[in-house]
A and B are shown apart, each in its own frame.
Chain A
Amino acid sequence: MLDTLIERIRAAHEHDSPLIIQGGGSKTFYGNPDEGEVLSARAFCGVVDYQPKELVLTARAGTPLIEIEALLAEQNQMLAFEPPHFAGNATLGGCIGAGLSGPRRPYAGAARDFVLGVRIIDGTGQPLRFGGQVIKNVAGYDVSRLMVGALGTLGLITEASLKVLPKPAAEATQQFELDEASAIEKMNQWAGQPLPLSATSWHAGLLTVRLSGAVSAVHAAQVKLGGETLKDAAAFWQRLRDQSTPFFDLRPATSNQSLWRLALKPTTPPLKLGEAQWIEWGGAVRWLVSDLPAAALFEAAKSCGGHATLFRGTAPAGGVFSPLTPALHTLHCNLKQRFDPKGILNRGRLYPDF
């Protein structure tokens, strides 16, 4: 199977014919439109190694996340970055390639923080291995993390090794009726105190906070923070993770509205950019439904220390991601050139010009 993938990429490189890498197809909406023949990594699957005591799992790219999470759950462990599955059958390869993380991210770390090593096939068909299966490793440049979120433009990820963590013994979710500005302030204040926070959300006047840890610690924090305990909290966080609440639905084609993800300095005060908003990650991510032009949102995000992504909707001409400065753009092109000289892998998916 690996040989087939290598051959396909080698041939595509030779014939200059672009490929679209696909896993479970759960994130086809994400990024810019790309062109080419579909190259599916879905069949290259299976957990290669899992050592619960070492906190390390290695699996092939096509392995469904759901399978990995079930295996980890048997040992009371988890992927601590809580990767979104969205509506489809998300795979490990897609999860790492897209580099997206879920509600636990600000408190536990992102997908890139848990990647220990990867095997890839580059744009010439050359298999390469970077990083490894140990938690501390500083030999060579950190090319494994460079692959996280590169949207397959630097290589097809065929295998990844991840650090995993024990599941918390207890979780509880508290809700507070609070206006937006106060909620942002609270989220930041609490994150600066020794509290077992593991997720935060604010939407429509309701601040929702998840606590995770030892039974006693979660209970003590519940008492300290107060609020109403949310029943069925697991479903709430899963819906937020997978964007399966109506707020995140694609707007009707007749509307110009898109779903934007604004990643900002977490203390940024309420944005005056539109009505419907969902705040996550302790204030560092603001989901926004808006019909403002892309340039306005890129500019707004930049002035708040971050960047914006048109997450769902029609891609603007310059692409769905915040534009890079000329110096950074040059570096991106240089790196792309080294990993995929003919630009056949997911052409245009990250930025329209490479």
Chain B
Amino acid sequence: MLSPVFLSQLRRLLPPHGVLHEREDLMPFESDGLSAYRNIPDVVVLPENEAQVAAILQLCHAEKIAVVARGAGTGLAAGALPIDGAVLLVLAKLNQIRQIDPLARTATVQPGVRNLAISEAAAVHGLYYAPDPSSQIACSIGGNVAENSGGVHCLKYGLTVHNILKLRAWTVSGELLEIGSESLDSAGYDLLALMTGSEGMLAVITEVTVKLLPRPQRAQVVLAAFDDVAKAGAAVGNIIAAGVIPAGLEMMDRLAIQAAEAFVHAGYPLDCEALLLCEVDGVNEEVSDDIFTVREVLTASGATEIRTAESEEQRLKFWAGRKAAFPAVGRLAPDYYCMDGTIPRAQLPHVLKRISEMSAEYGLAVANVFHAGDGNLHPLILFDANQPGELHKAELFGGQILELCVEVGGTITGEHGVGLEKINQMCAQFSTPELVRFHEVKAAFDPDTLLNPGKAVPELHRCAEWGAMHIHGGQLPHPELPRF
């Protein structure tokens, strides 16, 4: 519990509506996009400018009160889950686009600006911001930097880390850091990379300068059906080996295809095991050449059906099914749990086979949606949270999928971040000295562990307990105890 004295000090720093403390005002902030994890915050602060952010940090630092930064709250790993006794620092009101420089191709924006709003504001200049996480209509750029967000176009255009130039950020003690530059690099260590994906653990961002790219002249998509997921997986490698880097390369398995088709009627073939969507973009002539190559490769790779979108309307229809895949799968069961592992693509058939075996073991269905180009797999585990034990089962199943990803040379998170959700699996991916070094990197910025403590990097004792639990073949002792 925070003391009344501290709360009144906070109120002095902010306008009347900038401090929320009543239970009904706090409820909307109890979780981020991963609603299985909930905790009502003790207090929410909503600064409206940089000076207020600095003042809040200085006060919290002086009082040794922890701070959890939050953007739009669309994250999927409980990274913005409130912590008891901490201040929830919501940056949504810092939502101004400061400047768009069309000649230099940059936008300087506050962290609460929505991802899509940047592209909308830049459109008049024929420019856009490339990373496009599926939540781009709602998620904010500050959160994108904190999570190093990707999207369907990142094989060709990169993640957030590849598309930002400069940050204004504040240390836990309220000191300003200007990281990066208006050029393409900066002096000293690459702190821009270190900050990107640091999940609010190192500093609080108040301004981001992003790169803008020219809108491609043309984009075209090819849809291909396969009677075997392994063949579809191989086709992805063959497209890349042919020298084409598609703008988007997505794969869905049978359950995901059927759910999507039933939901949005995209016209997908239903008698297949896997569907590939391959989009190429660029200058007009290049797109024509690439479409030709892609069709040839798909045919040679054994596609049972190939369609090229002949109009923009058809292109959007092809994508509509994929983009609606999550809510479509959501109609199949009361709840679903979205995983986010990345694997070397060659391992796809093996990984899908193991997932389907685990699915049978746990008695929970799985639909697989796959950013195939960059090996980022999103298995959606279907369950019913109202059935006692099912959420727990889904979490165990999900954890095992992530460990499988590590086992085949991949990672537990491709784009959603670790947050609190995947913190145990960090123990599978990193050795003790590596985890120690992560804690030390945090200490270099935040020696008192006040920024988002307990997230992203597990304490060593936690790994020891988790490792011990694993010796018993995935059977947790004391299943009645809460574990999160």
Contacts and interface: CB of A to CB of B under 8 A. Distances in A.
B253 interface: no
A66 interface: no
Interface in A285-319: 285, 304-307, 309
Interface stretch (A22-30, A143-151, A202-210): A143-151
Interface in A154-173: 154, 165-167, 169
Interface in B148-177: 148, 150, 154-155, 158-159, 161-162, 171, 175-177
Nearest to B194: A146
A141 B344 CA distance: 21
Given A138-B147, A141-B197, A307 B187 contact: yes
A350 interface: yes
A336 B377 CA distance: 36
Interface residues of B, number: 96
Contact of A169 (B158, B217, B243, B245): B243
B412 A139 contact: yes
Given A192-B127, A338-B437, A136 B414 contact: yes
A14 interface: no
B409 A188 contact: no
Nearest to A167: B243
A306 B181 contact: yes
A140 B426 contact: yes
Interface residues of A, number: 88
Contact of B191 (A51, A128, A166, A331): A331
A214 interface: yes
A165 to B, nearest CB: 7
Nearest to A217: B286
Contacts, number: 270
B183 A192 contact: no
Contacts of B177: 325, 327-328, 331
B441 A338 contact: yes
A206 to B, nearest CB: 22
Contact of A137 (B216, B411, B437): B411
Nearest to B374: A135
Contacts of A53: 237-238, 240-241, 345-346
Contacts of B162: 109, 113
Given A193-B126, A221-B283, A267-B101, A136 B342 contact: yes
A85 interface: no
Contacts of B191: 146, 328, 331
Contacts of A47: none
A196 interface: yes
A126 interface: yes
Interface stretch (B60-68, B308-316, B427-435): B427-435
Contact of A139 (B161, B215, B345, B411): B411
B448 to A, nearest CB: 13
B440 interface: yes
Given A134-B374, A325-B178, 16 more contacts: A54-B344, A54-B375, A76-B243, A130-B434, A137-B414, A139-B412, A142-B193, A146-B189, A146-B193, A194-B282, A263-B184, A263-B185, A264-B183, A285-B183, A306-B183, A307-B183
14 contacts: A109-B158, A128-B434, A140-B438, A194-B216, A194-B217, A220-B283, A221-B283, A263-B185, A265-B104, A304-B182, A305-B183, A309-B187, A338-B437, A350-B188
